Amino acid sequence: MNAEDQKHDALLRFLHERHKTSRGIAKIPIGIRDLQAEMKKRSGMTRQEVSSNLDCLVQVGWTRKVSKERSFKTPHGMEVSQEQIRFNLSDVQINHLEVLR
């Protein structure tokens, strides 16, 4: 297994573990910053490595972006809407990892 494959594997296994142990469906997706921090702690991956490898996994359909609109108030009282993007495993990858077990 080459270095990039090991990074992909580490990301996929973390996301699968999160999928299996989360207490609710809304808790499964993870934001990029939380994912970067977790992968640095677990695998020593840099933020750039996590981002580029995650993008690759999204493009091949193994992970999925989950977008959600959220709004918040600025200090001046203006309400602003912003997209929140989180990531989780795709159904294809969940099935693949379940078969490997």
pLDDT of residue 49 exceeding 80, the answer is yes
Range of the domain at 53: 3-100
**Structure confidence at residue 94 (pLDDT):** 83
- Residue 48 corresponds to which tokens in the numbers above? 């750039």
pLDDT (tens digit, 9 = 90+) per residue, 12-46?
A: 999 999 999 999 988 999 999 999 999 999 999 99
* Structure token digits, residue 88: 């989780």
Structurally, how many domains does the chain consist of? 1
Q: How confident is the model at residue 101 (pLDDT cuts 50, 70, 90)?
A: low
C-beta of residue 37 within 8 angstroms of C-beta of residue 43: no
Percentage above 70 pLDDT, the chain: 97
pLDDT score for 92? 84
Model pLDDT, residue 1: 75
Where residue 11 sits, what CATH number does that domain have? 1.10.10.10
- Spell out the residues 6+ positions from residue 29 whose beta carbon is closer than 8 angstroms to its own: 66, 86, 87, 88
Bigger pLDDT: 15 vs 1: 15
Average pLDDT, the chain: 91
The pLDDT value recorded for residue 97 is: 74
